[in-house]
Amino acid sequence: MFLLLFLLIPIFAAIALLFIKKEQSVNLIAIGSGLLTLLGALHIILNKTGNYDASWLPILNSRFLLQADGLAKILILLTAISFPAIFIATSHNQTNQKNVFLSLMLLTQAGLMGVFLAGDALLFYFFWELALIPVYFLCSIWGGEKRITVTFKFFIYTFLGSLFMLIGIILLYSNTADHSFLIESLKHANVSPAQSATAFALFFIAFAIKMPIFPLHTWQPDAYEQSPTAVTMVLSAVMVKMGLYGIIRWLMPLFPTAFLAHANLVIILSVIGILYASFIAIRQDDMKRLIAYSSIAHIGLMNAALFTHNQVGIQGAFIQLFSHGVNVLGLWIIADVIEQQTGTRSMKALGGIAKKQPTLAILLVGFAFANIALPLTNAFIGEFLMFNSLFQFNPWIAAAAGVSVVLAAIYTLNMVQKVAYGEVSEATHLMTAPNKNAQGVLIVLLVIVFVTGVYPQPLFDVTADTLKQLFVK
């Protein structure tokens, strides 16, 4: 029953927001609901929770089953941290019809929570779409100049992907003995190897678009750039995790044979994507696009690690799902503060922030080094384990992917240098008082970066049960 709260709190808050106009109370409600969810997330991490199971669409024998294992918990925690962090950090931003904006954001949160909690394939699909639709409206109404074409591309892309997944679900479902959408039943669906491979492909395309995997990624930098930054934060800190989560939750248990059979292909694609995105990141001038490509590279590594089917590597990916969310959120908040105060994201036009706002510059340097996985930051743990598994899979592939470690240093330090160092530029001259809210959030996030980087064991412990479940024969 408790798990239902993760859906109800944001939905109720979203409905309430539609009737309130005053900006201060709008912010307060959004932040309050976010913090409440965060408390709930901490509760389920520290305590055992039961499933929530109710009948839903009985004619199809689909169930409203919510369950939370370690992996789900950690992603719920990430979602629950991200939303209030975003609300607080962007609370000063000028937004038209802020109540509707935040209401849609909260709906997205509910959708995301549902995705991570759903134990029934149809329910999973339902939430998968629920998370997407508000984002579409957010982008197309509040986005940048090219928002219409860009969000259209984004929407068509991911919608197409989810349709594939739906077909895959139905394919499996129609072959189950008890006509059920539950994981256990789908796992034992009576399908031929060919059918199984088809369903695998259908699922994989949906997840691959969402992550995204090279060469299905072109919607992402555009969407990140054109979306309002609050939405970009949601997209890249949490939403891309839906694809990776889908792989762990559905692809691995449902198609063990096809999974291993396609490992080579997927890993090679991922590694190409890692290098490709890293190279492109070197040449970006727009901060948002740089972070977007850097994120594509990181996600590619996680995907590759999952497909090595190596316990240690998958554990690394679990940790990285969380860590990447925290780090990229930090970078986006910094990019947003800078854009709000200077009116530009072009790194050429920036510079001298270390002089103008030393605290912000220090935070930027902190997150930059987390982004390149310096030891004792959270990302090192995950990347170390993932590269290790990749090395066991094939040393040459690991070495190739390892080049991204150097490339990441190049583009990240380039960014730090152009944005923070040097003389104060015309644009940064405009920077006024530091944004205290954003800085507060950033400090909290940076503490998480270092604490989980020095002592990651709690993260391992939380996700241990999922790992065990995956490798139980």
Partner 1 sequence: MPLVGFLFNGLGRNIWSKKVIAYKATGYIVMSFIFSILAFLNVQSSGPATVHYFDFINTAGFKIPFDLKVDALSSLFLLVITGVGSLIHLYSTAYMKEEEAPHYARYFAYLNLFVFSMLLLVLGDNYVIMFIGWEGVGLCSYLLIGYWFTNATYNYAAKKAFIMNRIGDLGFLLAIFWLIVKLGTVSYGTVLTAESLAKLSSSDITAITLLLFVGAMGKSAQIPLYTWLPDAMAGPTPVSALIHAATMVTAGIYMITRSNILFSASEFTQHVVAIVGISTALLSATIAIKQNDIKKVLAYSTVSQLGYMFLGLGVGAYSGAVFHVITHAFFKALLFLGAGSVIHAMHHEQDIRKMGGLKSKLPITHITFLIGCIAIAGVPPFSGFFSKDEILAAAFAKSPIYWALGVVGAAMTAFYMFRLYATTFLGQFRGTHDQEHHLHESPFAMTLPLILLAVASAIAGAIGVPELMGGHHWLSHQLAPIVGEAKEAGLSASTEWALMGVSVTIAVVALLIALSIYRKKADGEPQTALGKFLYNKWYIDELYETIILNPLNKFAGFLKEVVEKNIIDGAVNGTGKLVQYSARQIRLLQSGQVGYYILFMVLSMVLLFIFWFNDMTILKFFYKLTH
In angstroms, the CA 136 to CA 138 distance is 5
Nearer to partner 1, 92 or 429 (CB): 429
CB 88 within 8 A of CB 38: no
Nearer to partner 1, 31 or 107 (CB): 107
Quote the least distance from Cβ 134 to partner 1, whole Å.
12
In angstroms, the CA 204 to CA 378 distance is 28
Q: What is the DSSP string of 114-149?
A: HHHHB-BHHHHHHHHHHHHHHHHHHHHHHS-TTHHH
Quote the least distance from Cβ 374 to partner 1, whole Å.
6
The residues, any chain, with a CB within 8 Å of residue 21's CB and separated by 6 or more, are: 99
In angstroms, the CA 247 to CA 254 distance is 10
Quote the least distance from Cβ 306 to partner 1, whole Å.
14
Nearer to partner 1, 57 or 201 (CB): 57
**Distance from the Cα of residue 306 to its chain's centroid:** 16
Quote the least distance from Cβ 155 to partner 1, whole Å.
7
Nearer to partner 1, 188 or 285 (CB): 285
In angstroms, the CA 258 to CA 106 distance is 37
Quote the least distance from Cβ 92 to partner 1, whole Å.
26
Residue with tokens 């954003």: 438
| Residue 294 in tokens | 């850097």
How much of the chain is helix, strand and coil, in % rounded to 5? 80, 5, 20
Nearer to partner 1, 233 or 353 (CB): 353
The residues, any chain, with a CB within 8 Å of residue 272's CB and separated by 6 or more, are: 214
Residue with tokens 């901060």: 287
Nearer to partner 1, 50 or 193 (CB): 50
Three-state DSSP class for 251? helix
In angstroms, the CA 131 to CA 190 distance is 31
Nearer to partner 1, 25 or 311 (CB): 311
